[in-house]
Amino acid sequence: MINYSKIPAACSIAGSDSGGGAGIQADLKTFSSLGVWGCTVVTAVTAQNSREVRGIWNLSAEAVGMQIQAVRDDFGIKVYKTGMLPDGRIIEAVSENIPGGVPLIIDPVMVSTSGSRLIDEDAVAALMEVLIPKSALVTPNIPEAAVLSGIGDIAGREDMVHAGRVILDMGAGAVLIKGGHLKGDVSADILVEKERVTEFSSGRLAGDFHGTGCCLSSAIAAYMAKGMVLPAACRSAKNFINSAISEPFRSDSGRFVVNPAL
């Protein structure tokens, strides 16, 4: 008899980062590190290293839809998470093919830290109208929260909660606004749910780390796949990220990349 292990499965619907620091590769490393089986639906291929994005090739909506169907039909996925969804047709394909009743976490990826646009400008409306209403959680950073909420100047906790409420009103189940872009010694993320607001603070490590957003949202997905509910999953994921950036990988160009495989 074969001794098999029945670990929970999660699915990342995201872009490939050839450098392995962000995107689908970061998600898979995070899932593995946390004992979750990772399925992947590739939305775009990027030619990328820790410094720059040199090229982007979007997959067709049909290719995205068929990948979702293939994994959906066989793996008992407990949680779906999205990262880079580069165009409106892909967003529609995701919406049409993910099953109802399974939590969806949306990391609303827009621009890489290195400055490349990862979603068409006109696809942001589709994200808001079609996908956010189906989500259990949306995890914007401050610039993404500003675009989604229309609140231009998010400068502190009150603005973050306000932006979170606006995104909640679009139909999201909950919103985790990541405070990493704000100044100060403390990095505070704020989880806005209908009935409560929870803050997760930790000391800020100097420097910026490629891949943190992908790693955080996939860690939340992994903890939820293992049965945790919000906000415990967010708290555990924040601790996980802190350890993944405490000993980052350093590329030849000197950029630090999160290492979820520690």
| Shortest Cβ 185–ligand PLP spacing (Å) | 22
| Shortest Cβ 63–ligand PLP spacing (Å) | 16
Nearer residue to ligand PLP within complex by CB, 120 or 193: 120
Closest residue to ligand PLP using C-beta atoms:
23
Relative orientation angle of helices 142-149 and 157-168, to the nearest 10 degrees: 50
CA dihedral 78, 81, 86, 88 (to 10 degrees): 60
Which residues lie below 8 Å from residue 252, measured CB to CB, with a gap of 6+? none
| Shortest Cβ 247–ligand PLP spacing (Å) | 17
Strand 104-106 and strand 77-82: pairing?
Answer: parallel
| Shortest Cβ 227–ligand PLP spacing (Å) | 26
Q: Return residues touching ligand PLP (CB under 6 A).
A: 14-15, 17, 22-23, 46, 48, 83-84, 109, 112-114, 118, 210-214
| Shortest Cβ 129–ligand PLP spacing (Å) | 21
Q: Are 142 and 159 in contact (CB under 8 A)?
A: no
Nearer residue to ligand PLP within complex by CB, 110 or 234: 110
Nearest-CA neighbor of 111 among 137, 79, 81, 146? 146
Tokens 């609303």 label which residue?
A: 108
Please, what's the b/e burial string for 103-136 (b: 16 or more CB within 10 A of its CB; e: otherwise)?
Answer: bbbbbbbbebeeeeebbbeebbebbbebbbebbb
Return the bridge partners of 43, or none: none
| Shortest Cβ 112–ligand PLP spacing (Å) | 4
Nearer residue to ligand PLP within complex by CB, 16 or 97: 16
What is the CB neighbour count within 10 angstroms for residue 70? Answer: 12
Nearer residue to ligand PLP within complex by CB, 34 or 216: 216
Nearer residue to ligand PLP within complex by CB, 187 or 212: 212
Nearer residue to ligand PLP within complex by CB, 167 or 214: 214
Nearer residue to ligand PLP within complex by CB, 205 or 229: 205
Strand 9-17 and strand 77-82: pairing?
Answer: parallel
| Shortest Cβ 205–ligand PLP spacing (Å) | 14
